[in-house]
Amino acid sequence: MDLYTMICDSIRGFKSNIRKDPITNQNVSSAMAAELTIVSTVLTAAIMLRHLNVVLTILIVLGLVLYLITGMPLISKFKREQSDSLNKMMFYMILTLGILVTSIYWGFKP
């Protein structure tokens, strides 16, 4: 399957992933806008790694492109993970605390 059909298929898949609503058109268009925002901003942000290493940046950007396109309906996953459930908030909070403290403490140790 070529890349173009894959993108088209995933965009068609939006409708099934979005909640059934009287004005579904609007929801689908906003979901697509959100999807495109995520893809474009994440890719643009990844280019900033060029300040560290150019070869690494090229590899990471290519990897991200492949990942983002193959896993295309991303926004439903994002939305599910950012719900108002206390357990999910707690999980991400502890995760962030762990990563932050570990990377700062061991990452910069002289």
Partner 1 sequence: MNDLIPLMVIVPIIAAILLNLFIKYNTTIKILSFLVAIVLPIIPILSNYGLHYFGGHAPLMDNGTLLNSLPSYISDGPLSTFHIGITYSFESLQKILIFFLFVVGFLCIFTTIGERKRTPGSYMFLMLMGLAAVTAMLLSDDIFHMYIFFEIAVVAQVGIILASTDNQRYEIAMKYMILGSIGGPILLTGIGFLLGLVGSVNITDIVYVVRNGLVNANSPVFLFSFGLIFFGWLYSVGLPPFHTIKSAVYSKAVPSGSALLQALSVVIFISLGIAIFRIYSSVPFIGVFIIFFSLCGMILSLTMAIMENDFKRMIGFLAVGELGYIGLGFGLGTKLSLTAALFQGLNEMIITATLFIGFGVVLYMTKTSDITKLGGLIEKNPKIAIIVLLGGFAMAGVPPLNGFQSKLMLVQSALSDNFPELAVIMILISIVTFMTFIKAFHSVYLKPKPKNLVIENSDVPRSSVLVMVVLIAICIVLGVVPTLVTDGFSGFVGGLI
Partner 2 sequence: MIDTQLAALLSSGSFIIIGLYAAVFIDNIIKKIIGLSFIEEGANMFLIALAYRTDGVVPIFLPGMTPEWFASNSAYPLPHALVLTSIVIGASTLAVMLAIAMVLYRKHGSLSASVILGDKHE
Binding site for partner 1 (CB under 8 A): 21-23, 26-27, 30-31, 33-34, 37-38, 40-42, 44-45, 47-48, 75, 78-79, 82-84, 86, 89-90, 92-93, 95-97, 100-101, 104-105, 108-110
21, 30 in Cβ contact below 8 A?
no
Q: Which residues contact 59 (CB under 8 A, 6 or more apart)?
A: none
Interface of this chain with partner 2, residues 16 to 45, rule: CB under 8 A: 19
How near is the Cβ of 93 to partner 2 at its closest, in Å?
9
Do the Cβ atoms of 55 and 61 come closer than 8 Å?
no
